[in-house]
């Protein structure tokens, strides 16, 4: 495969300078470098600026309801474990409306790659405070400053049992591609939280803001297999008043995936199992 094989005719409908352009290229480049066949890849998204990603990459795609991307992705993975399933969400849908799915899929350890486009604002609906909006930031829904402590996705994923927890940002293509590739290759639930500057509605978290603060954990010699250290790093932003923002792999471990616990698909993929001679009439009677 070549990078051009993953392109489509449609042009992205995002604001000029949006971090989603970088994430789009990061995903395409990762899939291409891993030499995955488009027919073996499924991109799942929900509603939001990131929701158009499946439209812009030549693979299978499904755009579902807001906050419900993870259930869709997990169902696809159970149906056919041979597929590479990448699930997209924004910080609103992923950490707000869909946070209950996020918590439980972390602990179940589905073999999914979850890429959250975190712009710390509701971008598509023009600038309301989201779960990751920083405290005291003025938005359309917090004109006197946001009173809420922001949701910490890294700490939450580590505590709830995700086996790969990483962060990158849309302004560093090389780093982002490396993280996404490692997440795809990881067997288990992989969270990739991507700082995605929203140039229109979040003037606080700009490209310049991130450039001045982010640093690479792996380059700093960090051990990604220590869960307690991972939690410490997950809180470093708040501890330094957002002067130091770590990116890279916070935590990684190997553990049995949820699909591996299901005897129904141990020998054969669900999509390959025959539906002939199956009588559900007795089951239907119980529901009448």
Token code pair at residue 259: 């699909």
Those residues whose C-beta lies under 8 Å from the C-beta of residue 288, and which sit 6 or more positions away, are none
Is 27 in contact with 177 (CB distance < 8 Å)? Answer: no
- Whether the pLDDT of residue 286 is over 90: the answer is no
Using a 10 angstrom Cβ sphere, with 0-12 exposed, 13-18 middle and 19 or more buried, the burial of residue 106 is buried
Whether residue 161 is predicted with pLDDT greater than 90 in this model: the reply is: yes
Model confidence at 280, in pLDDT bands (50, 70, 90)? Answer: confident
Confidence of residue 278 (pLDDT cuts 50, 70, 90): confident
Q: How far is CA 9 from CA 54, 93, 226, in A?
A: 13, 27, 45
For the chain, give the number of residues: 288
Sign of CA dihedral 168, 170, 174, 178: positive
So what's the pLDDT on residue 2? 85
The model's pTM:
0.95
Integer angstrom CA distances of residue 5 from 1, 39, 140, 286: 6, 11, 41, 50
Average pLDDT, the chain: 96
Answer for the pair 227, 51: CB distance below 8 angstroms, yes or no.
no
**Residue from 277, 226, 273 nearest 253 by CA:** 226
Cβ–Cβ under 8 Å, residues 3 and 29? yes
Q: Which residue has the tokens 């439980």?
A: 104
Residue 257: per-residue pLDDT: 98
Cα separation, 135 vs 124, in Å, equals 21
- What percent of the chain is modeled with pLDDT above 70? 100
Kindly report, residue by residue over 14-61, the tens digit of the pLDDT.
999 999 999 999 999 999 999 999 999 999 999 999 999 999 999 999
Q: Show the domains of the chain with their CATH numbers.
A: 3-259 (3.40.50.970)
How sure is the predictor about 176, in pLDDT bands with cuts at 50, 70 and 90?
very high
Q: What angle do CA 131, 56, 190 make, to 5 degrees?
A: 50
pLDDT digits (tens, 9 = 90+) for 190-207: 999 999 999 999 999 999
Instruction: Tell whether the model's pLDDT for residue 64 goes beyond 90.
Output: yes
Q: What is the mean pLDDT of residues 239-267?
A: 96
- Residues 18 and 198 sit within 8 Å (Cβ to Cβ): yes
């Amino acid at each position: 495969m070549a990078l051009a094989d993953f392109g489509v005719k449609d042009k992205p409908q995002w604001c000029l300078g949006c971090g989603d352009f970088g994430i789009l290229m990061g995903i395409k480049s990762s899939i291409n470098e891993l030499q995955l066949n488009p027919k073996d890849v499924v991109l799942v998204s929900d509603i939001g600026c990131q929701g158009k990603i499946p439209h812009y990459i030549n693979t299978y795609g499904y755009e579902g309801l807001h906050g419900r991307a993870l259930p869709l992705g997990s169902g696809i993975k159970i149906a056919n474990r041979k597929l590479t399933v990448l699930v997209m969400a924004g910080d609103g849908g992923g950490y707000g409306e869909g946070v209950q799915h996020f918590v439980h899929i972390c602990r179940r350890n589905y073999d999914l790659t979850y890429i959250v486009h975190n712009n710390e604002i509701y971008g598509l609906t023009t600038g309301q405070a989201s779960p990751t909006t920083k405290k005291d930031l003025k938005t359309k829904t917090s004109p006197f400053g946001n009173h809420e402590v922001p949701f910490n996705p890294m700490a939450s994923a580590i505590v709830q049992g995700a086996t790969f927890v990483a962060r990158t940002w849309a302004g560093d293509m090389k780093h982002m591609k490396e993280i996404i590739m490692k997440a795809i290759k990881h067997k288990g639930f992989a969270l990739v939280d991507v700082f995605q500057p929203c140039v229109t509605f979040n003037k606080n978290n700009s490209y310049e803001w991130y450039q001045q603060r982010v640093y690479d954990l792996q380059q700093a010699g960090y051990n990604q297999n220590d869960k307690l250290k991972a939690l410490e790093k997950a809180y470093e932003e708040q501890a330094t008043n957002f002067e130091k923002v770590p990116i890279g792999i916070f935590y990684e471990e190997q553990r049995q995936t949820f699909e591996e616990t299901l005897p129904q698909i141990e020998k054969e993929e669900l999509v390959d199992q025959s539906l002939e001679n199956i009588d559900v009439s007795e089951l239907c009677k119980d529901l009448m």
